[in-house]
Amino acid sequence: MHIAIINGPNLNLLGKRETDIYGNMPFEKYLESLAALFPDVEFSYFQSNVEGEIVNEIQRIGFLTDGIVINPAAYTHTSVAIGDAIAAIKAPVVEVHISNVHAREEFRKLSHVSGKARGSIFGLGLKGYELAVRYLLTHSDLQKHPQQQRKSIVLFWLRGFSDDMQTSGGPDFKQFPFLSLSQFFFYLRL
């Protein structure tokens, strides 16, 4: 199985910029650990600060790969073109954001990608990429029946929730086997 990871602007500076928000691990180092965690997956990685280059990569890889994990970064909130490119391809796409964009500035709450992606993961740090890969692996039939799977899953990091969330009235995560850390997530079906 092949999964493409596409990162948008400024994510080439992970580990150096705003480490209080984005952490101190460079993405290339994280990608090595992700590849070790999923030895049967062939990963490709693309990062650009240029919107058109991201659109070109989505179009190039979108009919060749089994799935795409994308963090469009700031283009999430401004790029209709990236959203349109995702809608035009065959491969299923999961949107990932390292920070919880809904807990930040108001303009970050708009996404031109979420409605086109199979799901979105916010605020789980780099772990969001792993969860996106797990989702794509457990839903490898998405390409065969793309319109059947247009429902979105949105995951948020909730501060203050304890490890016993499932026993305290939280949602039933058994229906989502790709969630390995279910006690930390709140699930919303859109």
The full set of domain ranges for the chain reads 2-189
| Domain 2-189 in CATH 1.20.120.140 | no
Report how far apart, in Å, the C-alpha atoms of 146 and of each of 45, 74, 90, 113, 139 are: 23, 27, 8, 16, 11
Query: What CA–CA distances, in Å, run from 107 to 20, 72, 78, 111?
Result: 20, 15, 9, 9
| Sequential pLDDT tens for the chain (190 residues) | 999 999 999 999 888 877 777 777 888 999 999 999 999 999 999 999 999 999 999 999 999 999 999 999 888 887 889 999 999 999 999 999 887 666 555 655 567 788 889 988 888 889 999 999 999 999 876 554 444 444 444 444 443 333 333 333 333 444 444 444 433 343 333 2
Give the separation between CA 170 and CA 186, rounded to whole angstroms: 8
Catalytic residue IDs: 22, 97
Q: What angle do CA 96, 6, 57 make, to 5 degrees?
A: 140
* 62 closest CA partner among 97, 35, 94, 88: 88
Return d(Cα 134, Cα 175) in angstroms, integer. 14
State both tokens at 165: 């969330």
Largest Cα–Cα distance of the chain, in whole Å? 47
Q: Provide the whole-model pTM.
A: 0.74
